[in-house]
Chains A and B, each alone.
Chain A
Amino acid sequence: MKKNSIIVLALMVMAGCSSQNAVVPEPAPVSEPPVASLPPVPPAPSGYGFDQWQTGPLGDVFFDFDSATLSADAQEQLRQNGVWMGNNASKTLVEGHCDDRGTSEYNMALGDRRAASAKEYLVRFGVSPSRIETVSFGEERPFAQGQNEEAWAKNRRAHFVVK
C-alpha cells in the first residue's frame, strides 16, 4: 500500500473564520409545461445556445437558480434543436449541469431534472425518446470558472452532445 502524501497535523490547528459574500438564492417560478409548436426555423450557428463550450449543431439551454424550468429562450433553442434532430439521425446526449453553489448531492439531482426537462420538450416536439440519453454532472464539471453570476449562469445548463 502506498503511503499517501497527505500529512497529518500533529497539532490540530484552530481555524480562523471569516464570513464571505455570495448571492442569496431565490425560489424558482413555476411555469406551465412546454407545448410543441411550428413552423420550424433554420438552426442558428450562434446566439443564445452557442458559446465557447457549445460549437456543435445543437445549442445548449440555460436555467435560473434552483430551477429546471424552461424559459422562452430555452424553449426556442430546443425547438431549433428538434428541427435539426428531425433532419439528422444522430443520437444525442443531454448533460445537466449546475453552478457550484448549494450542496453537491442536491445539485446532482437538479442537473438530472434539467437534462430531463430538455429531453421531455424534445420528445413532445416529436423526437423519439430512444434517440436522447440524459445524464447529470451536478456541479462536478463547471464550464466557466469564477464566483460571480456571469459564471454561475453559464454553468446552469443542459449541454447537448451529438453522438
Chain B
Amino acid sequence: MIKLFRGVFFAIVASLVLFPSHLVATEGQEYIAIRKEGAGNIALVLDKLDAKGRKETGFAQDLDGIINGGLDFTKVFSIIQPPLNVKDDSDRKNIVINFPALTSVGAEVYVGGVVTMKSDDILLDMKVYEAAGSKLLMNKTYRGSAAALRSMGHAFCADLVELLTGKKSIFGSKIVFVSNKTGFKEIYECDFDGYGVEQLTKSKSICMNPALSPDGKHLAYIDFTSGRPTLYIKSLAGESVAAVGKSAVSIDPGWRSNSEVAATLSFDGSQAIYLVNTDGTIARRVTNSKSIDISPTFSPDGSKMAFVSSRNGLPQLFVQDLVSGDVKRLTFSGRYNTQPSWSPAGDKIAYTTWEKGGEINIFTINADGSGLMQLTQKCGENKSPSWSPDGEMIIFTSNRQGKEKLYVMSSKGGNERLLLQGDGEQTQPSWFLFR
C-alpha cells in the first residue's frame, strides 16, 4: 500500500505516450512577457471537446469536467463561455476558429481539443491559441487508458498553467494530513484537490505532523505506538522505518533537504532542534536555548531555519542562519506565534497567531520581518498553514463550521474553500510537490 502511495498520478502520466508534441515555447514566453505583472486572471475560453462516436463523446464530456474543474481550482483563470459562433466546421476537414468572436467576448486565450480512440486508448489532442494574435501557443496530444482520464486532463492543465504563467503548477502535487476518523489519529494523503484519499498509517495510536521529503521518498512523522512521541522516518519505496532511538519526546519534523530532517528532541533535558539523517541517526544539534524550540521550517536553499521559541517568554518566531549560527527574532506582533511554514519561493513565512479573544489566524511575513499580512479573520481557529508547491495557495485547518477541516485559500488571502468533507477531524496538512 505504501508503495502504491508513491504517486499514482505520475505513474500514470509517465505511462502516457505523448504524440506530436509541439510546445510552442517561444510563443508562450512572448505571451507571458506581454501580460503585465499582476494583470489579474487570464480570460480563457474553454471550448467543449470535439468527439465523434458514443464512447468518444462520453470520454470527452468527462474530460471537459476534469479540465474545467482543474483550471477553476487554480484561480488563475476567468473561464468564459464560448461564443456560439466560435467555430466554423462547415468544410468538415478544417475547423476554423472565429478569433474576432473570441476577442469580442474579452477572451485572451482559446482552448479547444478533440477526443479520439486508438485501440483501447484515448487520445486527447489539445490546442491553445492566443485570441488577439490568432497564434497557436501549444499543440499537444495526451494518450492513456480510460482509467487515466483524470491524469490526462490534469497533465494538460499543468502544461497550460506552466505555458501561460511560466510557473510550475499544483497539478500532480499531494497533501499529507492527519485524520481521526477511525477513532485514532492516523496519517493520510490525497491529491491537491482532495481526490484519492488514502490512509498511510495504521498505528491505532496517535500519529502526527506528517512531512514529506522534497523528493517524496521519505515521510517523517511523530508516532506514539511505543508509548511516547517518537520521530519515524519511513522510506516509501522500501517500506523501511527508521525511528530516532533517543528517548524522551520528539516533536514536529521539517525537512531541510532530501537527506536531513529537523525535529525537536528532548533527551538532553530541553526541547532543542536537531538535524536527523534519514536512517534516524542524529547529524547535529541546531538550537541551544534551554527553552522550548520547535517547528523547524527551512528556506529553499536550506541555509536558514525559521522556528518557534519560548526563549523570550510566550512563543515567537525566530530565524537562525545555519552557517553563522546567528539567530534573529522574526515576529514582534502578536503574543503567541507558532506553526511557521517557509514559502517555496523563499520570500515569505506563513504562521499562526493566537489572538486576544481566542481566534487563531494565519499571517504571512517577509523573511526579513517586513510586510506582515493577515490572511484569515473572524473564522474561529485557523491553524497549520502549508504552501502549495507553486506558492499560489495555502492549505490550513479551520474549525469555522464546527469540527476542524482542511481548507485552501490564495496565499495573498481570499478564495477560502473547504477541501475535504468527511468523518472526523482533519488536521496538520502538509502540501508537497511530487516530482
Residues of chain A at the chain B interface (Cβ within 8 Å): 1-2, 4-10, 12-25, 27, 66, 101-106, 108-110, 112-113, 116, 134-136, 138, 140
Contact = CB atoms under 8 A, between A and B. Distances in A.
B383 A15 contact: no
Nearest to A13: B418
A103 B354 contact: yes
B314 interface: yes
A139 to B, nearest CB: 11
Given A15-B398, A17-B379, 4 more contacts: A16-B400, A16-B401, A102-B338, A104-B427
Contacts of A66: 314, 336
A110 B299 CA distance: 26
B378 A105 contact: no
B292 A113 contact: yes
Contacts of B197: 4, 6, 8
B266 to A, nearest CB: 5
Q: Is the interface of A mostly helix, strand, loop or mixed?
A: loop
Given A104-B428, A108-B252, A136-B249, A9 B418 contact: yes
7 contacts: A21-B357, A25-B336, A27-B313, A102-B354, A103-B360, A109-B292, A109-B310
B338 A105 contact: yes
Contact of B339 (A14, A103, A140): A103
A161 B75 CA distance: 53
Contacts of A18: 378-380, 400
A18 B357 CA distance: 12
Interface in B308-333: 308, 310, 313-315
From A17, A23, A101, A136, residue with most partner B Cβ within 10 Å: A17
B336 A108 contact: no
B401 A15 contact: yes
B181 A5 contact: yes
Interface stretch (B105-113, B121-129, B188-196, B238-246): B188-196
A2 B400 CA distance: 30
Given A15-B379, A16-B400, A108-B251, A5 B422 contact: yes
Contact of A109 (B73, B264, B354, B407): B264
B421 A6 contact: yes
Contact of A25 (B352, B354, B378, B417): B354
Contacts of A19: 357, 359, 378, 380
B201 to A, nearest CB: 13
Contacts of B380: 17-20
Contacts of A22: 357-359
B57 interface: no
Contacts of B339: 103, 105
Contacts of B251: 105, 108-109, 112
B284 interface: no
B249 A7 contact: no
